Homo-oligomer: A and B are copies of this chain.
Amino acid sequence: MKRAKKKIFADFIAQRGLKSTKQRDIILDSFLSSDRHLSIEELYLKLRAKHSNIGYATVYRTLKLFAEAGIAREMEFGDGQTRYEHVVEGEHHDHLVCTRCGSIEEFENQTIEDLQTQVAADRGFLIERHRLELYGVCGKCRS
């Protein structure tokens, strides 16, 4: 899967006439082997540990590129930081966010999706995207 993502990004780069650089390679590598919901800051700090010469701006711009290339998605869970999550082809999911430990789980529910579409249709509204987040206490924190 990591291969596939790299391929997608390489194609994106080529198709847009952009350049392949070692910073982008490093950032992509690090992103792909990271937690599924990473903020710019977190990735930047992680990178600094090994590559002290990569700037915040580059991480910021590269993540934006990932989003444009379709291998990452921008998310925000109310802590004021934009997070980037890995995009899996054809998959859509919503989130369960633990307000104690901050962990983020994912879930899918087609029935909920269908109901959303119906609610919108009833009002002549055409849905482009949605966000559904459930905040609460995860199993681990409850026990």
Contacts and interface: CB of A to CB of B under 8 A. Distances in A.
Interface of A: 76, 78, 96, 98-99, 105, 107, 109, 111-112, 115-116, 119-120, 123-139, 142-143
B127 A142 contact: no
13 contacts: A76-B78, A96-B120, A96-B123, A112-B112, A115-B115, A120-B134, A124-B142, A125-B134, A125-B136, A125-B137, A125-B138, A130-B132, A132-B133
A128 B133 CA distance: 11
Contacts of A143: 124
A126 B105 CA distance: 13
A125 B125 CA distance: 32
Contacts of A107: 119, 123
A65 to B, nearest CB: 21
B126 A115 contact: no
Contacts of A123: 96, 105, 107, 138-139
A107 to B, nearest CB: 5
B136 A126 contact: yes
